[in-house]
Amino acid sequence: MADFNVNILGCGSALPTTRHAASSQVIDLRDKLYMIDCGEGTQVQMRRMHIKFARLNHIFITHAHGDHCFGIPGLISTLGMLGRNGDLTIHAPSELKEYIQTIVKLFCQGMPYFVRFNPVNTNEYSLVMEDRSVSVYSIPLKHRIPCCGYLFVEKQREPHIIREMIDFYQIPVRAIQCIKQGADYVTPEGKTIPNAWLTRPATPARRYAYCSDTGYFPKILPYIHQVDLLYHEATFAEADAARAYETFHSTAKQAATIARDAEVKRLLIGHYSARYEELTPLLDEAKSVFPQTCLAQEGMSLSI
């Protein structure tokens, strides 16, 4: 099965610590890289995880808080120094357009590639980007400023060929691609073999949802229903639920409640407040509601 990995570059929150880096993830899907959020220090985290700069073409930013976007200037400068040619597209709420434009104007004169800005609608679920491998949708979230999560939906894959039937009918290799596309096979004698005899349905397309930053917001449930993996912020422990409410963040238990109610397969929590040196209590609180939970940590790579 083709790669679909989520690499955790940073899962801390706004205040800097030596334990966690600011938010950033890189999705590795069929050998292309898609970044979600780009907090300060992201480019060094890429180096640390041996993530190739050249394979990155799209960056998705959730909102205009520094811990989610202050790594962009360094990264786009570095890509220029590395001699990049192809466009880089930054998909982000329109609040970030002036920031990106100012950085490019002041620091990226004569850079060998172009930075495109694609404004993202944070108010409704909508298609942000698609290519041959993936469709990416925005997921409206509830935060202090306009903010959206992102849903990565792998493009439908080809059906599986039933090797025994291909051999039985002595179907030539040149016909296989058409059969994968849904065609029946006609034998040299003129007999039609229905496609359904020759193939099994494709593995369902995998889906990954990233929901940070957000307060507890059940309106997202239909968009993330039964995703293979959900990353949901869990800034606070239950004891600090009032603080979570005030700041439009979630507790670990709220993240787990969303995961349970959306019937997702697995939950990954992160965006930990700097106040917690030890994260086991957050994990325990989440697991009490949704057992298939794990803690994000820098350097982690999860296969979907």
Name the residues that contact its own copies, by CB under 8 A. 14-18, 21-22, 40-41, 43-44, 46-48, 64-67, 70-71, 73-74, 77-78, 81-82, 95, 98-99, 102-103, 106-107
Between residues 78 and 133, which has the closer beta carbon with respect to its own copies? 78
- Minimum Å gap between C-beta 233 and its own copies is 17
Token look-up 């966690």 returns: 20
Which uninterrupted H or E stretch holds 167?
Answer: helix 163-168
Between residues 99 and 152, which has the closer beta carbon with respect to its own copies? 99
Q: Are 23 and 16 in contact (CB under 8 A)?
A: no
Question: Nearest-CA neighbor of 266 among 235, 233, 224, 230?
Answer: 230
In the set 67, 167, 228, 261, the catalytic residue is 67
Which uninterrupted H or E stretch holds 48?
Answer: helix 42-48
Question: Does the annotation count 67 as an active-site position?
Answer: yes
Between residues 95 and 131, which has the closer beta carbon with respect to its own copies? 95
> 46: buried, middle or exposed (CB in 10 Å: 19+, 13-18, 0-12)?
buried
- Minimum Å gap between C-beta 184 and its own copies is 54
Q: Are 150 and 90 in contact (CB under 8 A)?
A: no
Between residues 14 and 161, which has the closer beta carbon with respect to its own copies? 14
- Minimum Å gap between C-beta 3 and its own copies is 24
Q: Are 20 and 272 in contact (CB under 8 A)?
A: yes
Length of the chain: 304
Query: Residue 123 and residue 65: Cα distance in Å, rounded?
Result: 17
- SS3 state of residue 187: coil
Between residues 199 and 235, which has the closer beta carbon with respect to its own copies? 235
- Minimum Å gap between C-beta 112 and its own copies is 15
Tokens of 66: 């520094």
- Minimum Å gap between C-beta 67 and its own copies is 8
Catalytic residues: 67
